[in-house]
Structure 1
Amino acid sequence: MATVRKRRLPSGLIRWQAGYVDGAGERRFRMFARKADAEAWLVETRHDVSRGIHTPGSLSPTVKEAAALWIKRCGEKRLEPMTVKGYEEHVDLHILPFIGAKKLSEITVPAVNGFADQLREAGRSAEMIKRVVRSLGAIFKEARRRGLANTAPTQGIELDLPDREDPRPVIPTKSELQAIIAKAQGRWRPVILVAIFCGLRASELRGLRWADVDFEARQINVNQRADASHRIGKLKSKAAYRSIPCPPIVLNALREWKLLCPKRDTGKTDSAGEPVKVLDLVFPNGLGKVESHSNLLERGLDPILVAAGLTETRPVLDKAGKPVLDAAGNAETMAAGKYGMHSLRHACASLWIENGYNPKQIQRLMGHSSIKVTFDVYGHLFADAEADQRAAEGVEFRLLGKT
């Protein structure tokens, strides 16, 4: 039986006690300062109990406790270390400082919107808020799996975030791409060409095997990647497994590079007495092992960009990530390449789109998990500028009778 009763505390304060029976048949109570609040909460709670989605506050873990269980689960699922590290940062920097002490049972849809508002007021970007709320949703998913929660307050939520940031990716111009290709020499030339003409992610470049380069079919089959810890593993999603056509310039560069490419010898032999070679990577380091992402940039792309004159001024940072100051106390600066490896991937997509590839083809070739991702990143490139101009001229003609 659900009731709301007036109670006088030993301190003399008047409180209203809402009582109800939970799904397990246990009698539960909660105190409120106002009768109206107690009655409203009781109506909602009884409704949740009848639907089987109520978890008593006394049994509900805090967000901090549930987040720890989620991070533990991520480790058990053997997610990439950098992925887990990113989730830990979401928890430690953005979730716990604001709602870590709250119980999961207190996190409702309005509470999630309030949390998003707090993040925005604290200076978080719209994109970061979206990511953090997704992580909060994953915390609830793990809690539901363990029977510690029965709701999903982030599911289908509309955060209504102001977003004035330019969503368009930074893409090198054609002339800049030509300059990059002209300056790409030696072991880095095939890397740059595959990035520009085939659109592989940096992790996919680092994990590419010679067995996945099909010279006869003139294509690259993307089947694995190298993570930040230099471990070879699965791709980001099922859609990332794909085959990409290669133009002649890429195939010729790869044929030449294959003759010089370092091999890693384990020192072991197989049953036939032949040396056992592992990895067989297309773009390994000098020892035939997985190349680091930092080397890909610092020894590969950056010097090429500098040689091509495609630079920007950046502060010099020390090992702690702080600006290095000169004798006068001013921050030292340096000329560094203005683009990253992902910009070359964007350039590839833009060239495909300009060549007439439709959105579904771009999704497949780029390995996007959904067409929404494709449109979110490259939607503006599918616009027909000539048709838009004709439409603008038509508006002028209909209004003024001239062109």
Structure 2
Amino acid sequence: MGIRKRKWKVDGVEKECWVLDYAVPNGNRERDANGKLPRLKRIVKSFPTQKRAKEEAEKLAVAKHHGRQSTNTKLTVAKAGETWIEASRVRLERSTVAQYEQHLRDHIAPHIGQLRVAELSSDVVKRWRQKLVANGTSLPLVKKVTTSLSGILAEAMENHDIGYNVVAAMGRTRRQEAKTEERQKRDVKAGRDFPHPKEIDKLLEHETSPKWKAFWLLACRCGLRSSELRGLRWTDIDLKAAELTVEQRIDRYQKKGNPKSGGSRRTVPIPPGTLKALRIWNLQATPGAELVFATSKGTPERHTNIIAERLIPAWLRAGVTKVARDKDGRPVVTAKYTGLHAFRHYAVSWWLARPDTGLGLSLHEASKRAGHASITLTGDTYGHLLPRSDETATMAAAEGKFG
């Protein structure tokens, strides 16, 4: 395959183009009686610019690479997705597999599931992604679903069904998406993503249950995840040393397991007020109960039940609400915060705040307490919450006499 420039004259006017010259199999590729393959067919194409000729050459190279290694030309995207899901069950957590199933069911199969994997191209993938966005899918979700499609193709490559992962080759597009997503990303903010201190005080003031008061306090003072709170055992708490150790979690399927990551296994100090609430609950809890926040039957609390039956009613009782509109436009009072992760955001913000309103911890210390995989994650999410000193005097001195 080669690209060359061609020039000629027509009525004294010089013209030029770029020629792509390549060969393809000519019909049957079986060897003859002498063991020789038939001669290749020569193809010559002309293009107005060198760029167009190079683009065509790249497409041909990809198609050649794809065709040579592809062994299952009838495999559809939907079928390849099912194979990928089954392979994921062996190595990934159930919740992660459930997320992949949703991606395949709701965003991949309905649009491109009927296509053969061999038919996928960058143009097909781009049009699919544009359709998702047009249908109201957020850019972060489109990015996640695209990653799932890439996983499907990677699994097909590993099974020697295809020889080319078109999504993995679209690196430039993914980098541009990352920049767009970064521009659209909002910093977590008090009053929107997590409660103000006064709102936490209202919640605790109106909570009459010792069990749930201890639960809210552990969530907002120790920063435990929902799964970690539901998996917390009395043996993980040292009431004398005023600290707890995160050793296990219970996922949304009520399955006990190890913490989310290596960094999630950690020891967290318990503040005095939270420790007092835990002591009170310890005296009233079912004797011999393993879990700190078990149901009356000793089973783990379900995340959805905590939200619907405990958290939202607690915010409503405390008057921490907002006014929304129903489908008929009538005002409806709802809880201002409807997720447990808001407490985790609050905990980190409280750790980083100045000692008069918080603990004044460093970013490194807060990252360790939160059980984040890296300090980079903590910094990217909460770095803007770090208190800043008043630099007015310093800047004035540095400016000099004439500014």
TM range (shorter): 0.7 to 0.9
Determine the C-alpha separation between the residues in 1 that align with 2:342 and 2:204: 14
Aligned residue number for residue 234 of structure 1? 258
Q: Does 1:290 align with 2:307?
A: no
Is residue 2:180 matched to residue 1:180?
Answer: no
Among 61, 66, 74, the alignment partner of 2:80 is 66
What letter corresponds to residue 296 of structure 2 in structure 1?
Answer: G
CA contact (8 A) 1:209 1:280 kept: yes
1:349 aligns with 2:348: yes
Residues 261, 146 of structure 1: CA spacing in aligned structure 2 closer, same or farther, 3 A cutoff? farther
The aligned counterpart of 2:6 is: none
Partner of residue 200 from structure 1, selected from 224, 228, 246: 224
In the aligned structure 1, how far is the partner of 2:242 from the partner of 2:362? 21
Letter in 2 for 1:92: R
Partners of 1:202 and 1:137 lie apart in 2 by: 30
**AA of the residue aligned to 1:340:** G
> Which residue of 1 is the match for residue 61 of structure 2?
43
- Is 1:143 equivalent to 2:152 in the alignment? no
Query: Aligned-pair distance for 1:223?
Result: 1.5
Shift of 1:258: 1.3
How many Å apart are 1:33 and its aligned residue? 12
Distance 1:383 1:123, change over 3 A: farther
* Superposed displacement of residue 108, structure 1: 5.8
For residue 168 of structure 1, the aligned residue among 180, 185, 188 is 188
Q: TM-score, normalised by structure 1?
A: 0.73
Determine helix, strand or coil for the equivalent of 2:69: coil
CA distance in 1, matches of 2:145, 2:313: 36
CA offsets 1:335-386 (integer angstroms, 9 cap, x no match): 3343421111100000111233333332222122233322332122136263
Residues 306 and 335 of structure 1 are in contact (CA less than 8 Å); yes or no, is this contact kept in structure 2?
Answer: yes
CA distance 1:335–1:351, shift in 2 (3 Å): same
Partner of 2:70 in structure 1?
Answer: 56
Counterpart contact for 2:71–2:161, Cα < 8 Å: no
Contact preservation (8 Å) 2:194, 2:337: no
Measured at CA, do residues 315 and 99 of structure 1 come closer, stay the same or move farther in structure 2, by a change above 3 Å? same
Separation in 1, partners of 2:272, 2:75: 59
**Residue in structure 2 matched with residue 273 of structure 1 by the alignment:** none
CA displacement at 1:235 relative to structure 2 = 2.5
Q: Is this contact kept in 1: 2:73–2:117, CA < 8 A?
A: no
Deviation, 1:297, is: 2.2
Map 1:330-345 to 2 at 5 A. Answer: 333-345=332-344
Q: 1:182 is aligned with what amino acid?
A: E
Count of residues paired in the alignment: 349
User: Which whole-Å CA distance do the structure 1 matches of 2:75 and 2:401 have between them?
Assistant: 65
Partners of 1:290 and 1:259 in 2: how far apart?
19
1:256 aligns with 2:280: yes
Alpha-carbon separation, structure 1, partners of 2:400 and 2:71:
66
* Structure 1 counterpart of 2:256, one-letter code: I
Larger-gyration structure (1/2)? 2
One-letter amino acid matched to 1:143 = A
CA contact (8 A) 2:352 2:387 kept: no
Give the drift of 1:188: 0.8
Give 1:307 deviation, angstroms.
2.5
Q: For the residues of structure 1 that align with 2:114 and 2:201, how far apart are their CA atoms?
A: 55
1:374 aligns with 2:373: no
Q: Secondary structure at the match of 2:293?
A: coil
* Identical aligned residues as a percent: 28
Other structure's SS at 2:175 match: coil
Distance 1:113 1:99 in 2: 12
Report deviation, 1:42. Answer: 3.4
Q: Does the CA contact (< 8 Å) of 1:206 and 1:225 recur in 2? A: yes
Distance 1:196 1:98 in 2: 42
1:366 aligned partner, one-letter code: A
SS across alignment from 1:287: coil
Letter in 2 for 1:247: P
Structure 2 portions without partners, runs of 5+: 3-21, 30-36, 47-52, 354-358
- C-alpha distance 337-44 of structure 1, shift in aligned 2 (>3 A): closer
Cα 1:220–1:58 shift into 2, 3 Å? same
Unaligned runs of 5+ in 1: 4-15, 264-276, 317-322, 324-328
SS at match of 1:386: coil
Which has the larger displacement, 191-200 or 219-228?
219-228
CA 1:374–1:148 in structure 2 vs 1: closer, same or farther (change >3 Å)? farther
Distance of aligned partners of 1:398 and 1:231 in 2 relative to their CA distance in 1, 3 Å threshold? same
> Which portions of structure 1, spanning 4 or more consecutive aligned residues, are displaced by more than 6 angstroms?
32-38, 390-395
SS in 2 for 1:259: helix
For the structure 1 residues 148 and 371, does the alpha-carbon distance in structure 2 shift closer, same or farther, using more than 3 Å as the test?
Answer: farther
- Cα 1:88/1:204, change in 2 over 3 Å: same
1:118-173 Cα offsets, whole Å, 9 max, x none, are 43333221221222122223323333433334555338641433643524251211
